[in-house]
Amino acid sequence: MASPELETAFLAAVGAGQLQDTAQFAEAHNVEHLVVVGLLKSLLAHDMITTEETEHSRWAPTAEGKSYLGVGSPEVQVFNAVTADGISLTDIKKQLGAAGDVGFKQAMQSKWVAIDKSGGEPKVVRKVEAVQDRVLAVITALAAGQESGASDAELAALKKRKLVQLDCWKTYRVGKGPAFALQRRKAATELTAEMLQKGTWREETFKEYNFNALGLPPAGGHLHPLLKVRSQFRKIFTQMGFEEMPTNNYVESSFWNFDALFQPQQHPARDAHDTFFLTKPAATPASTFPQDYLQRVKQTHQHGGYGSAGYGYDWKTAEAEKNLLRTHTTAVSSRMLYQLAQEGFRPAKYFSIDRVFRNEAIDRTHLAEFHQIEGVVCDYGLTLSDLIGTLQQFFDRLGLKKLRFKPAFNPYTEPSMEIFSYSEQLGKWIEVGNSGMFRPEMLRPMGLPEGVNVIAWGLGLERPTMILYNIDNIRDLFGHKVSLSMVKKNAVCRLGL
Ligand code: PHE
């Protein structure tokens, strides 16, 4: 970079109309021409000067060319190495190294030397008495910046041998620009109170904003993509008037996770192959469950009621007491609905987004812990149309507009529907969630009034996150293999745009 002194001298020369050639100026001030060109560009950007350029070119020796200065061109080195009675090529190469190779080729071409096989062993012998080192003369003259007297053809041949090159550069004649001054005025970077009070802002030049400048990456904490997508889902739910359910209990009893949801005690999902059961504490004492409710749940499982025949098996309290890691957030919904019934029913809309656990074989799309998003609406007289309409609104906000529904089965919903959305990106229908209307066998024992229906749906958080962040292996998203730089660098998330 140019020093302030150099800039002052440069502007003074321009002011005096004396800056005819930047190369001369550079030489006079003993700096590289490039430094002067840098200064010139910056002054030009501020309209302080005008320039007229002149193109120059000059032949100069390359690094290899320079390496022969003082020692002679390779061909002359070879010629000099040839003794009166000849020398073997191997010996030449031994003496001269790499120069021996090229030098021999050139000396042969110039017919300075020849191979003599008359004595058996081939030998290199001289064919002329003396030679002149034309190449060295040209390179020496060029290195000194003098006229070499070489013809275009000679220079072209030396260029082909990579001994010389054509250097091109520009120099400038500099004149005053519209904003010329002998001193550069530093543009103000901000408007100060003082400038306003004294009115000096009128004369100030202000530095322009650089809208292309990139911001500094935040050095502090970073949100994991799952958290970013979760907060977007949370926003959608709250915009739709849903309240968040308290999900801060990963450990749940089978009672709230399964029994309350009319899931029979023999159901395969209640197997240790699918569910993580706790060993310590292994059980929640049944005395802590609401006793009358527990009786109604037992009665409904065994004998039905509310228009249902029940499952007709012997419901065991011990099975309901077993502790587990909740397998779905519907366990939270069942607690909330029971509580709502106890408080005296009012229509309500709830949601939750939190972690659940399943004893799954782990692969690129499955983990043993993942996140569920769940929405629940309770009111009098809700129908399947309300469910479809609500789902349509919800997924619309995610940007998934084309939906289809397929009949499905859940122990706690009837009817149940899997939700499919058409992915333009993949060109096919993909499953995006599961839904249904909670069964009376689940709702009535809780004490929810006759005529109240509950529609609900659930989906995973990981799948949309993987699609949004282009991650194809779930282990790159969650768990000990996650790269911290992915967490630092991932983009903001805006759903439904
Ligand atoms: N709990 C269901 C699951 O684990 C999702 C679901 C929620 C289905 C609510 C229907 C109603 O997949």
Amino acid at 426: L
Q: For the domain 63-163, what is the CATH code?
A: 1.10.10.2330
DSSP 8-state secondary structure symbol assigned to residue 5:
H
Q: What CA–CA distance (Å, rounded) separates 265 from 254? A: 9
Q: Which residues line ligand 1 (CB under 6 A)?
A: 328, 330, 374, 410, 413, 434-436, 456-458
Q: What band does 184 get if pLDDT is binned at 50, 70 and 90?
A: confident
Task: Tokens for 284, please give them.
Answer: 């929640």
Ligand 1 atom with the smallest distance to the CA of 374 is: 7
Amino acid at 476: D
List, for residues 36-90, the tens digit of each pLDDT value. 999 999 999 989 999 999 999 999 999 999 999 989 999 999 999 998 888 988 8
Q: Does residue 74 have a cis peptide bond before it, meaning omega lies within 30 degrees of 0?
A: no
Task: Tokens for 82, please give them.
Answer: 């040839």
Ligand 1 centroid – CA 418 distance (Å): 10
Query: What is the reported pLDDT for 497?
Result: 62
Ligand 1 centroid – CA 343 distance (Å): 25
Q: Which residue's CA is minimally distant from atom 5 of ligand 1?
A: 458
Which contiguous run of DSSP H or E holds residue 218?
A: none
Which of 252, 285, 471 is closest to 355 using CA atoms? 252
Which of 396, 441, 433 is closest to 416 using CA atoms? 433
Task: Tokens for 225, please give them.
Answer: 């993509």
Residue 433, strand partner residues: 419
Which contiguous run of DSSP H or E holds residue 302?
A: helix 291-303
**8 Å CB contact between 475 and 367:** yes
* Mean pLDDT, rounded, for 14-27: 94
| R_g of the chain computed on alpha carbons | 43
Query: What is the reported pLDDT for 147?
Result: 86
List, for residues 102-120, the tens digit of each pLDDT value. 999 999 999 999 998 887 8
**8 Å CB contact between 226 and 375:** no
Amino acid at 266: Q
3-class secondary structure, 371: strand
Strands 123-126 and 403-410: unpaired
Nearest 10 degrees: Cα torsion 279, 281, 374, 487: -70
**225-489 CATH, one of 1.20.120.450, 3.40.710.10, 3.30.930.10, 3.30.70.20:** 3.30.930.10
* Mean pLDDT, rounded, for 236-245: 97
Amino acid at 300: T
Q: What CA–CA distance (Å, rounded) separates 222 from 225? A: 9
Determine how many CB atoms are found less than 10 A away from the CB of residue 232.
20
Q: Which residue's CA is minimally distant from atom 4 of ligand 1?
A: 328
Q: Which residue's CA is minimally distant from atom 10 of ligand 1?
A: 435
Q: Taking the model in full, what pTM does it have?
A: 0.63
Determine how many CB atoms are found less than 10 A away from the CB of residue 44.
15
Determine how many CB atoms are found less than 10 A away from the CB of residue 425.
8
Ligand 1 atom with the smallest distance to the CA of 435 is: 10
List, for residues 361-382, the tens digit of each pLDDT value. 989 989 999 999 999 999 999 9
Ligand 1 centroid – CA 457 distance (Å): 6
Instruction: Give yes or no for residue 496 having a pLDDT over 80.
Output: no
List, for residues 415-450, the tens digit of each pLDDT value. 999 999 988 877 899 899 999 999 999 999 999 999
Query: What is the reported pLDDT for 185?
Result: 81
Ligand 1 atom with the smallest distance to the CA of 330 is: 1
Ligand 1 centroid – CA 314 distance (Å): 26
Instruction: Give yes or no for residue 287 having a pLDDT over 70.
Output: yes
Question: DSSP letters of 243-286?
Answer: EEPP---SEEEHHHHTGGGT--TT-GGGSTTTS-B-STT-B--G
Instruction: Give yes or no for residue 1 having a pLDDT over 80.
Output: no
Query: What is the reported pLDDT for 424?
Result: 81
In the chain, where the domains are located = 1-61+164-214, 63-163, 225-489
Query: Which residues fall within 8 angstroms of residue 481, CB to CB, at 6 or more apart?
Result: 475
* Mean pLDDT, rounded, for 314-331: 97
Tell the CATH topology of 1-61+164-214: Ribosomal Protein S8; Chain: A, domain 1 (3.30.1370)
**8 Å CB contact between 379 and 451:** no
Determine phi and psi for 175, rounding to 5 degrees. Answer: -125, 180
Instruction: Give yes or no for residue 136 having a pLDDT over 80.
Output: yes
List, for residues 391-423, the tens digit of each pLDDT value. 999 999 988 889 999 999 999 999 999 999 988
